[in-house]
């Protein structure tokens, strides 16, 4: 009796607790809503690092950021990479720049905001009056917020009246822009991250996705786990962690991938894997800068690019090229290609981009889910702020060109400035801009949110240009010293990430609002406020009359209207309440566009268009297949400089590591640049891991410690770009792609000596 | 997606040491491991020093996606934690960590159910490493 | 004898189907559910270890079951 009662009691209690538990567990999600328990708040934002643009929430307790967590409702499905997870530490770094500095008697000393800004304004005014507007320049960043970059672009082009407005995306994405614009007539990818979930074959070329874009890589991994016959082709001279998921890794001599891509097209053609119907309806053919070739011409051009020829040029095997082409071209399988700096940072970068597009175009593998060429971006707002916002020396906002009379007239009207205000001649692209600083043609340079004293190619030359007495260099930066701020005449303390609000646009045309979570550190100010202040001091206050970044955003919305970018519907409120929106998004309430040029998804394609796709970017509504021959890099090894030198990233660090080196865990891992060598090369040179080796190019020399690695390719030495003390860019070449003006960071020739 | 909060009755409840997430500071100048010199990742040595740990890590989701040792364990020296507190997991697994607050899971941490390093989702318990994911 | 109250988390929409299977097993008494992805149930076993094994087996064998959350565990003195 007792037992039965006891059991009944237990069962009743168990049942009651379980039923109560039904209500308890679903609350987990709600518990994670913006306002948490115990005075914690969670502010919606975006990761500060790469161009993947992962959504996250910033946890604030007692006025301090204590944690971040991934946004489950954003494209990253709640995941962050190891850098993103450690973001809070960057805000409280010991080298945060907390007050303005000016150089006095050769030394940077603390000063007030007013003194610093007065000096900047006076020096810029003086230079403009004496030497004209083109004696000053702005060098910005794919990390600035859209509103900040917009203010600088407007101030310099419409106020000061110089087109010397550049930014580090020139070092990063310019060739991808060149590729999209020449092939499709419009910049930016047509696909999106969601394509990863539909693709059957991935072509990863010139991308160490696993380390440079970990959350994109993770999505590829998930796709591969979900569908067993998904194949991954990796084309990269080195065997990197990305190759862990490769079904085929093609290693080749740097600079020869154009031959491989053309040979893949050759195989696709030869094996009947091309889509003749798609070609006839949607494609045009060109060579050089002219769209004056035919499908027959292209076939004749490809005839020479046999897999055997490519194999002999690139030192891979013909079988590898044939396999890659067959997998890519297999009928009924969706193919997605992704690439980044390996193709872009090249003197043939635009061509390499064209050749990837060619593969998709001739097979018709474009514009359906999983079929897309997709360029990965290095910085969180290179796309949204600089490319789309037109903050380069040849661009105006949202696809308009400096050199186009109609575009200038349109912008003058939109900006309310007199006709003829905007100069018709493009300004100087990045490398030329720093050369003009060297020659003295540019006297004053305003650098915002970037570190060219470490990140420019052939950096010693341009450090001297920044350092010389008659160059007036202003650096607005969240950290000090950096390898650039140490050369500055004025250093302005900039607010960082969670300390300000604004919009970032990532690689997939996704715009997202970063909301301010905490006040700026010390005396730091958002770049937005600094630029508005500068405009007022230069007499251009009416051009930047904004009180908040939201005011600037409202103006930006009027500029994109009617362009291919049209995101008029992305009001501040809709950005605040969403988890990222993809343009075009021409009206409030529009869901945004996952697949551009595609009927039914892209609002710019008429609903009654007879075909599934419309390449509206070009006047003839066709995408262009370009006949681009294999050409070697600017500098190849010879008897004196017998090794290839190439640079890249490690997962723990980002760019010049001004942020990541301030995270304890990251500072202790892979921060020092080492010379990664193949065991055979190391043996030949008598080097072991840890042994010092001097790497010398025609431009400079630097000692690194050796890291012997099976993943390295014979004859190629790799050094990462993150180390401020051992700068790989002392060695790199400053030759640029003639179209995109992007430097060839990825390939030059060096000699190696025991040091 | 199999990384769901699949928390079962199995496993031993162990409370982790108090978390450090949110403690801010400057870059470590010199880690406590005398031989660690800011050059390589932990697995450079631990492949030999603790091979099972590295093998299991590589076989699991964290290894595949380059979620390296320090994400859970912190840095070396005073920052090192042996058993990662749940706060170190919230970057990617916030919902799951929040579920630990449920009375049903009192006294448990992530590793009560997910084997450390391999970190397989529950349904793979006993099914071997890297199974049907 | 150990008696436990548990919440069983299932794939979205699969709770009723899982409930049917559990009820048919005879070992579990389903007390309620949200009609979507959660069930409340009472389960008994000779020992705590057996209860754990049951949960483990359920997780391994029923793909629709994503988690078993104990809400209460009591021991009958006998």
Q: Which residue of A has its CA nearest to C1?
A: A7
Residue tagged 């994911």 (tokens): B133
Q: Reply yes or no on whether the pLDDT at A151 is more than 50.
A: yes
Which of A601-610, A696-705, C14-23 is least confident? C14-23
Are A473 and A118 in contact by the 8 Å Cβ rule? The answer is no
- The residues, ordered by sequence, that sit 6+ positions from B84 with a Cβ below 8 Å of its Cβ are B16, B72, B73, B110, B111
Strand spans (E) along A72-128 = 101-104, 107-110
Would you state the pLDDT for residue A118? 98
> Model confidence at A38, in pLDDT bands (50, 70, 90)?
low
Beta-strand relationship, A283-287 and A290-293: antiparallel
Contact: B76, A81; criterion CB under 8 Å = no
Q: Which residue of B has its CA nearest to A658?
A: B27
Per-residue pLDDT averaged across A676-688, rounded?
A: 97
Higher pLDDT, A472 or A28: A472
Which ranges constitute the DSSP H helices of chain B? 43-49, 51-59, 61-64, 69-73, 90-99, 110-113
Catalytic residues of A: 83, 172-173, 341, 378-379
B-C C-beta contacts closer than 8 Å: 50
Contacts of A18 in chain C (CB under 8 A): 5-7, 31-32, 40-42, 71-72
With b for 16 or more beta-carbon neighbours within 10 A and e for fewer, the A642-670 pattern comes to ebbbbbbbbbbbbbbbbbbbbbbbbbbbb
Contact: A15, C74; criterion CB under 8 Å = no
**Closest Cβ–Cβ partner in A14, A20, A22 for C34:** A22
- The residues, ordered by sequence, that sit 6+ positions from A282 with a Cβ below 8 Å of its Cβ are A361, A364, A611, A613, A615, A622, A623
In this structure, the number of other CB atoms found within 10 A of the CB of residue C29 comes to 16
- Distance CA(A222)–CA(A215), nearest Å, equals 10
Residue tagged 């050796």 (tokens): A706
In tens, the pLDDT along C42-55 reads 988 887 778 878 88
In tens, the pLDDT along A635-653 reads 999 999 999 999 999 999 9
Per-residue pLDDT averaged across A290-299, rounded?
A: 98
Higher pLDDT, A196 or C76: A196
Mean pLDDT of chain C: 82
Higher pLDDT, C50 or A111: A111
Would you state the pLDDT for residue A492? 98
Q: Reply yes or no on whether the pLDDT at C74 is more than 60.
A: yes
Residue tagged 């020296």 (tokens): B77
Per-residue pLDDT averaged across A423-431, rounded?
A: 98
Nearest to A423 by CA among A151, A136, A175: A136
- Distance CA(A5)–CA(A637), nearest Å, equals 88
Q: Reply yes or no on whether the pLDDT at A319 is more than 90.
A: yes
Indicate the SS3 state at residue A156. helix
Indicate the SS3 state at residue C46. coil
Can you say whether the dihedral through the CA atoms of A227, A228, A229, A233 is positive or negative?
positive
Per-residue pLDDT averaged across A713-736, rounded?
A: 98
Residue tagged 């301030």 (tokens): A662
How many CA atoms lie within 13 Å of C76's alpha carbon, on the beta-carbon side? 24
Which ranges constitute the DSSP H helices of A283-429? 295-303, 307-314, 318-329, 341-344, 349-363, 405-415
- Distance CA(A308)–CA(B131), nearest Å, equals 40
Would you state the pLDDT for residue A681? 98
Strand spans (E) along A225-323 = 231-235, 248-250, 283-287, 290-293
Strand spans (E) along A340-494 = 372-375, 395-396, 400-401, 444-448, 472-477, 490-493
Q: Which chains touch A (3 or more CB pairs under 8 A)?
A: B, C
Are B17 and B82 in contact by the 8 Å Cβ rule? The answer is yes
Would you state the pLDDT for residue B81? 87
In this structure, the number of other CB atoms found within 10 A of the CB of residue C74 comes to 18
- Distance CA(A624)–CA(A289), nearest Å, equals 11
Phi and psi at A746, nearest 5°, equal -80, -20
With b for 16 or more beta-carbon neighbours within 10 A and e for fewer, the A68-87 pattern comes to bbbbbebbbbbbbbbbbbbb
- Distance CA(B122)–CA(C61), nearest Å, equals 12
Peptide bond into A135 cis (omega under 30): no
A303 CB-contact burial (10 Å; exposed 0-12 / middle 13-18 / buried 19+): exposed
Which of A4-13, A168-177, A280-289, C23-32 is least confident? A4-13
Contacts of C6 in chain A (CB under 8 A): 18, 21
Contacts of C72 in chain A (CB under 8 A): 13-14, 17-18
Contacts of C40 in chain A (CB under 8 A): 15, 18-19, 21-22
Are A570 and A581 in contact by the 8 Å Cβ rule? The answer is yes
Mutate to test the interface with A, among B36, B37, B38, B76 (most CBs of A within 10 A): B38
Q: Which residue of A has its CA nearest to B94?
A: A69
Residues in chain B: 133
Would you state the pLDDT for residue B33? 65
Contact: C5, A14; criterion CB under 8 Å = yes
Contact: A668, B28; criterion CB under 8 Å = yes
> Degrees (nearest 5) of the Cα angle A573, A579, A580?
85
pLDDT, averaged per 10 consecutive residues of chain B (133 residues), comes to: 28 25 32 60 86 92 93 85 90 88 81 85 38 32
> Degrees (nearest 5) of the Cα angle B100, A77, A142?
125
Task: Give the rounded percent of residues in chain A with a pLDDT score beyond 90.
Answer: 94
Mutate to test the interface with B, among A14, A669, A706 (most CBs of B within 10 A): A669
Per-residue pLDDT averaged across C65-70, rounded?
A: 80
Q: Which residue of C has its CA nearest to A14?
A: C5
In this structure, the number of other CB atoms found within 10 A of the CB of residue C20 comes to 11
Phi and psi at A419, nearest 5°, equal -55, 135
Contact: B27, A70; criterion CB under 8 Å = no
With b for 16 or more beta-carbon neighbours within 10 A and e for fewer, the C58-70 pattern comes to bbbebebbbbbbb
- Distance CA(B124)–CA(B116), nearest Å, equals 13
Are A514 and A501 in contact by the 8 Å Cβ rule? The answer is yes
> Model confidence at A622, in pLDDT bands (50, 70, 90)?
very high
Beta-strand relationship, A444-448 and A136-140: parallel
In tens, the pLDDT along A434-460 reads 999 999 999 999 999 999 999 999 999
Q: Reply yes or no on whether the pLDDT at C16 is more than 80.
A: yes
Would you state the pLDDT for residue B2? 27
Would you state the pLDDT for residue B125? 32
C-proximal residues of A, 14-53, CB under 8 Å: 14-22, 24-26
Would you state the pLDDT for residue B11? 25
Contacts of C31 in chain A (CB under 8 A): 15, 18-19
Ordered strands of the A490-493 beta sheet: A107-110, A101-104, A490-493, A472-477, A444-448, A136-140, A165-167
A-proximal residues of B, 42-81, CB under 8 Å: 42, 64-68, 70-71, 74-76, 79
CA-based nearest distance C32→chain B, Å: 17
Are A240 and A211 in contact by the 8 Å Cβ rule? The answer is yes
Phi and psi at A138, nearest 5°, equal -120, 135
Contact: A672, B65; criterion CB under 8 Å = no
In this structure, the number of other CB atoms found within 10 A of the CB of residue A519 comes to 12
Are A323 and A311 in contact by the 8 Å Cβ rule? The answer is no
Which ranges constitute the DSSP H helices of A578-708? 664-667, 679-685
Contact: C1, A7; criterion CB under 8 Å = yes
Are A160 and A151 in contact by the 8 Å Cβ rule? The answer is no
CA-based nearest distance B78→chain A, Å: 11
Residue tagged 């004025």 (tokens): A490
Contacts of B6 in chain C (CB under 8 A): 9, 59, 66-67
Q: Reply yes or no on whether the pLDDT at A592 is more than 90.
A: yes
- Distance CA(A224)–CA(A610), nearest Å, equals 35
The residues with which A626 forms a beta bridge, in sequence order, are A286
Contact: C9, B6; criterion CB under 8 Å = yes
Q: Which chains touch B (3 or more CB pairs under 8 A)?
A: A, C
Would you state the pLDDT for residue A303? 98
Indicate the SS3 state at residue A429. coil
Contact: A13, C6; criterion CB under 8 Å = no
Task: Give the rounded percent of residues in chain A with a pLDDT score beyond 70.
Answer: 97
Helix H, strand E, coil C: the string for A707-723 is EECCCCCCCEEEEECCC
Write out the two tokens for A669: 């891992």
Pairs from A311-317 (Cβ < 8 Å, separation ≥ 24): A311/A263, A313/A256, A313/A259, A313/A630, A314/A252, A314/A253, A314/A256, A314/A257, A314/A259, A314/A260, A315/A252, A315/A253, A315/A256, A316/A250, A316/A251, A316/A252, A316/A260
Q: Reply yes or no on whether the pLDDT at A588 is more than 80.
A: yes
In tens, the pLDDT along A521-564 reads 999 999 999 999 999 999 999 999 999 999 999 999 999 999 99
Mean pLDDT of chain A: 95
Per-residue pLDDT averaged across A341-347, rounded?
A: 98
Contact: C7, A11; criterion CB under 8 Å = no
Helical (H) or strand (E) element with A531: helix A527-537
């Amino acid at each position: 009796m007792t037992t039965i009662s006891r059991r009944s009691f237990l069962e009743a209690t168990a049942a009651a607790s379980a039923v109560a538990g039904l209500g308890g567990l679903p609350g987990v999600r709600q518990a994670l809503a913006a306002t948490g328990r115990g005075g914690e708040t969670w502010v919606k934002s975006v990761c500060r690092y790469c161009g993947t643009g992962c959504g996250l929430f910033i946890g604030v307790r007692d006025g301090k950021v204590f944690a971040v967590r991934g946004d489950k409702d954003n494209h990253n499905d709640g995941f962050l990479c190891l850098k993103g997870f450690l973001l809070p530490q960057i805000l409280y770094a010991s080298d945060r720049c907390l007050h303005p500095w000016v150089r006095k008697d050769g030394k940077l000393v603390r000063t007030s905001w007013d003194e610093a800004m007065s000096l900047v304004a006076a020096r810029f005014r003086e230079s403009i009056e004496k030497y004209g507007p083109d004696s000053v320049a702005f060098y910005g960043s794919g990390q600035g917020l859209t509103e900040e970059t917009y203010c600088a672009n407007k101030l310099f082009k419409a106020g000061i009246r110089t087109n010397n407005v550049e930014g580090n995306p020139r070092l990063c994405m310019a060739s991808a822009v060149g590729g999209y614009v020449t092939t499709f007539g419009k910049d930016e990818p047509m696909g999106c991250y969601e394509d990863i979930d539909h693709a059957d074959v991935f072509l990863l070329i010139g991308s160490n996705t696993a380390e440079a874009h970990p959350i994109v890589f993770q999505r590829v991994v998930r796709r591969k786990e979900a569908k067993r016959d998904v194949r991954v082709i990796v084309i990269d001279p080195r065997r990197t962690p990305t190759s862990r998921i490769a079904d085929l890794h093609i290693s080749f001599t740097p600079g020869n991938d154009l031959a491989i891509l053309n040979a893949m097209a050759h195989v696709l053609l030869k094996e009947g894997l091309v889509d003749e119907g798609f070609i006839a309806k949607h494609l045009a053919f060109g060579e050089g800068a002219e769209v004056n070739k035919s499908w027959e011409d292209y076939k004749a051009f490809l005839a020479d690019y046999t897999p055997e020829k490519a194999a002999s040029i690139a030192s891979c095997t013909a079988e590898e090229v044939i396999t890659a082409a067959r997998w890519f071209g297999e009928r009924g399988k969706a193919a997605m290609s992704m690439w980044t700096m390996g193709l872009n940072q090249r003197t043939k970068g635009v061509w390499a981009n064209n050749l990837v597009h060619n593969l998709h175009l001739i097979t018709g593998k474009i514009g359906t889910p999983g079929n897309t060429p997709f360029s990965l971006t290095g910085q969180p707002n290179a796309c949204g702020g600089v490319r789309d916002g037109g903050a380069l020396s040849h661009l105006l906002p949202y696809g308009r060109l400096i050199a186009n009379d109609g575009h200038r007239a349109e912008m003058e009207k939109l900006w309310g400035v007199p006709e003829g205000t905007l100069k018709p001649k493009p300004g100087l692209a990045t490398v030329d801009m720093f050369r003009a600083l060297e020659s003295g043609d540019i006297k004053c340079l305003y650098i915002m949110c970037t570190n060219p004293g470490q990140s420019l190619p052939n950096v010693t030359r341009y450090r001297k240009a920044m350092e010389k007495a008659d160059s007036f260099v202003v650096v607005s930066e969240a950290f000090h010293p950096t390898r650039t701020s140490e050369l500055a005449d004025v250093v302005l303390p900039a607010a960082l990430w969670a300390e300000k609000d604004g919009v970032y646009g990532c690689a997939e045309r996704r715009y997202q609002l970063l909301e301010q979570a905490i006040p700026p550190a010390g005396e730091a100010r958002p770049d937005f406020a600094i630029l508005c202040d500068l405009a007022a001091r230069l007499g251009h206050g009416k051009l930047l009359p904004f009180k908040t970044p939201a005011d600037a955003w409202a103006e930006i919305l009027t500029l994109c209207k009617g362009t291919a970018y049209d995101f008029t519907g992305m009001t501040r409120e809709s950005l605040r309440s969403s988890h990222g929106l993809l343009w075009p998004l021409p009206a409030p309430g529009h869901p945004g566009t996952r697949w551009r040029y595609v009927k039914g998804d892209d609002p710019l394609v008429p609903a009654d268009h007879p075909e599934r796709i419309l390449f509206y970017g070009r006047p003839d509504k066709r995408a262009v297949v370009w006949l681009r021959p294999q050409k070697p890099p600017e500098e190849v090894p010879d008897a004196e400089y017998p090794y290839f030198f190439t640079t890249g990233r490690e997962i723990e660090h980002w760019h010049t590591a001004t942020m990541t080196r301030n995270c304890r865990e990251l500072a202790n891992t892979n921060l020092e640049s080492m010379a990664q060598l193949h065991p055979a090369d190391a043996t030949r040179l008598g080097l072991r891991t840890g042994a010092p080796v001097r790497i010398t190019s025609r431009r400079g020399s630097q000692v690194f410690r050796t890291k012997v690695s099976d993943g390295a390719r014979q004859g190629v030495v790799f050094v990462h770009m993150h180390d401020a003390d051992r700068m790989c860019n002392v060695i790199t070449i400053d030759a640029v792609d003639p179209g995109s003006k992007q430097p060839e960071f990825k390939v030059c020739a060096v000699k190696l000596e025991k040091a | 997606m199999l990384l769901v909060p699949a928390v079962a009755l199995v496993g031993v409840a162990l409370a982790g040491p108090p978390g450090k997430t949110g403690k801010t500071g400057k870059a470590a100048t010199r880690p406590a491991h005398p031989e660690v010199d800011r050059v390589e990742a932990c697995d450079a040595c631990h492949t030999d020093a603790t091979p099972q740990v590295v093998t299991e890590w590589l076989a699991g989701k964290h290894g595949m996606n380059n979620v390296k040792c320090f994400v859970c364990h912190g840095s070396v020296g005073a920052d090192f934690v042996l058993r990662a507190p749940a706060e170190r997991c919230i970057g990617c697994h916030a919902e799951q960590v929040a579920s630990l607050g449920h009375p049903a899971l009192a006294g448990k941490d992530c590793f009560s159910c997910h084997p450390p390093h391999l970190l397989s989702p529950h349904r793979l318990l006993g099914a071997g490493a890297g199974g049907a994911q | 004898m150990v008696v436990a109250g548990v919440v069983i988390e299932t794939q979205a929409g699969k709770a009723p189907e899982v409930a049917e299977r559990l009820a048919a097993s005879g070992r579990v008494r389903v007390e309620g559910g949200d009609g979507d992805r959660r069930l409340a149930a009472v389960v008994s076993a000779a020992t705590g270890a057996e209860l754990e094994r049951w949960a483990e087996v359920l997780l391994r064998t029923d793909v629709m079951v994503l988690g078993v959350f104990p809400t209460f565990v009591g021991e009958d003195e006998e």
